[in-house]
Amino acid sequence: MGRELGSDDASKPVRKAADELGEKLSGIEGTLLAAQAHGRGQDDCRWAPMLVQKVDYLFHQLDASADFPPTTQQTAVQEELKQRGRQGARDFQQLVGKELAAFNGMLREHNIGNIYLKTP
């Protein structure tokens, strides 16, 4: 974006909006996974587990006791994690539907190509 946008005063609002959008996306990502984790050492001790890590833990607990039905607690945790996942998806869709659309409008005003999300 730097080459297309330039560095003059007219580009400052676009840069600020891009930074804010990036921070909001990072915030949503942070509710889904511990982005600081690198898969080595003491990640579990250093970083709080987020949704992806919690789902992974629950899966392994259920897999380890596959001969028995899930406990009441495991079922409750599964439902809570589903709700968190749905909320994360809603937050992301809202960000894409409103914030990204507004940001793309700002880019069009500056004759800069829009950001598109590839959907499955």
pLDDT band of 2, cuts 50, 70, 90: very low
Range(s) of the domain holding residue 73: 2-109
Residue 42 or 1, more confident? 42
pLDDT for the residue 19: 92
Domain-located, residue 62: yes
- Mean pLDDT computed over every residue of the chain: 82
Cβ(58)–Cβ(77) below 8 Å: yes
* 97-109 tens-digit pLDDT: 999 999 999 988 8
Specify the pTM. Answer: 0.70
Report the sign of the C-alpha dihedral through residues 10, 14, 15, 20, in that order: positive
Model confidence pLDDT, tens digit, residues 13-72: 888 999 999 999 999 988 887 766 666 666 565 666 788 888 888 998 888 888 889 999
The answer to whether position 117 is within a domain reads no
CA distances from 101 to 42, 77, 94, 106 (A): 40, 35, 10, 9
Q: Does residue 120 form part of some domain?
A: no
Q: Has residue 33 been placed in a domain? A: yes
pLDDT digits (tens, 9 = 90+) for 42-58: 656 566 678 888 888 89
- Local confidence band at 10 (pLDDT 50, 70, 90 cut-offs): confident
Residue 69: left if φ>0, alpha if ψ -120 to 50, beta else—which one? beta
Alpha carbons 57 and 62: distance in angstroms, whole number? 9
Q: Structural domain tally of the chain?
A: 1
